[in-house]
Amino acid sequence: MKFYALASVLAAVLVIGCGGSTQQGGGGSSGGSGGGSVTLDSGPWPSPRGNAQGLAVGKGATITGIQNWNYFTTGQITGSPVLASDGNVYFCSADGNLYSMTQGGGLNWRFQSGGGIANSSPAVGSNGKVYFEDLGGTLYAINTADGSVAWNVATGASGRVSASVMVGTDVVFAPTATGVSAYNAKTGAVVWTFACGAVQGGFSLTTGGNLLFGSDDKNVYDLVASTGAQNWAYLTGGAVRSTPLASGFGVICASGDGKIYCLDESNSVVVWTANIGGALTASPALSHGRLAEVSPNGNFDVYLANGGVRLWRATVTPGSGSPVSARDGAFYLADGNGVLRGYDGVTGRVLWQFYGGGSPGFYNMGIDVNGNVYVGSSLNSITSLR
């Protein structure tokens, strides 16, 4: 196994124009441009919410909820693990490290960031790089083969608690001090910047390639991914700290005003809303036409994505994780008592449950092609279940 520490950080400060996007050049340290286009990796769960559209649907189905293995770090693991086509699992820990592990639980390497890590979730590119942003406001491109640094760049987003990133076509999207920037995936050079309120959730992409995200300024944004030009913004009644998902039913997001919004992807016209209650921060999951979301009030609701009619509700102990779904349409959720459960997507019947111990317990999950679930916890561990 190999262990890497940051040798130096590029001090690049982004200057963003007021209101809208600015295209720029310049940027990261070390690393060649290489050949071929960079896209999101083709693995089973290469981004924090599973795929580019943020649907949070796995390619396998967990049947039993039995533990495969458990691995301890020295910090909480609150972000989502991601699973790449190379067969490895990548995740961030509050001990300041990005970890690479085999799906069998063996450690490949770990990389020590220079600024600590809170709720960060990485994303994997098709170019053999894993990207993440640390609490000090540095965006890293790390070589998946050995954990060495390809490049790094200062984003200015120091202290941002939930800094998740996304890989688009030849770019990486990341929060900055004054909004969002796109960086060249090969070099770290700034491609464009967009000014808005603090971005504390994640990113997704529409099937047409537009970038979606929410902000503390209460808006959901749709930008042209290649230029940062704004297509539309929809003002909700609260901060949007969840990851919007892009579906055939519309753009679906959860807001701090306690509502789930389904918006027309082309023009942001409201298709439907559902009031689940509480200041929502969890990201919804969509599978088999059914949408799952959990509130800090302890309501775990599943709706028809076509129309927003609620199908069922389960009462859970409020926690800090977001629901995910399996290939068979089951939903998985970790509650605040350290219990991870699988639910029948149609009826809400509990299929299995696993008690990990401790409170708040488990956080966010990723699912591989065999249906194994990987989930981080407040006990400083990552657990694999089948």
Domain count, the chain: 1
Q: What are phi and psi of 204, to 5 degrees?
A: -145, 170
Tens place of pLDDT per residue across the chain (386 aa): 444 443 333 333 333 333 466 666 544 544 444 568 999 999 999 999 999 999 999 998 887 899 999 999 999 999 999 999 999 999 999 999 999 999 999 999 999 998 888 788 999 999 999 999 998 899 999 999 999 999 999 998 776 656 799 999 999 999 998 999 999 999 999 999 999 999 999 999 998 999 999 999 999 999 999 999 999 999 999 999 999 999 999 999 999 999 999 999 999 999 999 999 999 999 999 999 999 999 999 999 999 999 999 999 999 988 778 999 999 999 999 988 889 999 999 999 999 999 876 666 889 999 999 999 999 998 999 999 99
Residue 34: what pLDDT?
56
Is residue 88 within 8 A of residue 103, CB to CB? The reply is: yes
Residue 161 forms part of a structural domain: yes
Rounded to two decimals, the pTM is 0.91
Domain-embedded: residue 4? no
Instruction: Examine residue 350 and state whether it is found in any structural domain, yes or no.
Output: yes
Is 1 part of any domain? no
Instruction: Please say whether the beta carbons of 164 and 243 come within 8 A.
Output: yes
Q: What's the pLDDT at 7?
A: 35
pLDDT of residue 118: 79
Inside any domain, residue 286:
yes
For residues 217 and 196, is the Cβ–Cβ distance under 8 A? Answer: yes
Q: Taking the CB of residue 313, how many other CB atoms lie within 10 A of it? A: 14
Q: Is residue 156 part of a domain?
A: yes
Residue 5 covered by a domain? no
217 lies in which domain range? 12-28+39-385
Q: CB atoms < 10 A from the CB of 158, how many? A: 14
Q: What is the pLDDT of residue 63?
A: 79
Q: Residue 302: enclosing H or E segment and its boundaries?
A: strand 299-304
Question: Would 87 be classed as within a structural domain?
Answer: yes
Q: Is the separation of the CB atoms in 231 and 222 below 8 Å?
A: yes
With contact defined as beta carbons under 8 Å apart, do 192 and 22 qualify?
A: yes
Pairwise CA distance, residues 169 & 198, whole Å:
24
Handedness of CA 69, 75, 76, 80 (dihedral sign): negative
Task: Give me the pLDDT at residue 360, please.
Answer: 61
For residue 319, what pLDDT is reported?
78
CATH of the domain at 65: 2.130.10.10
Cβ(49)–Cβ(82) below 8 Å: no
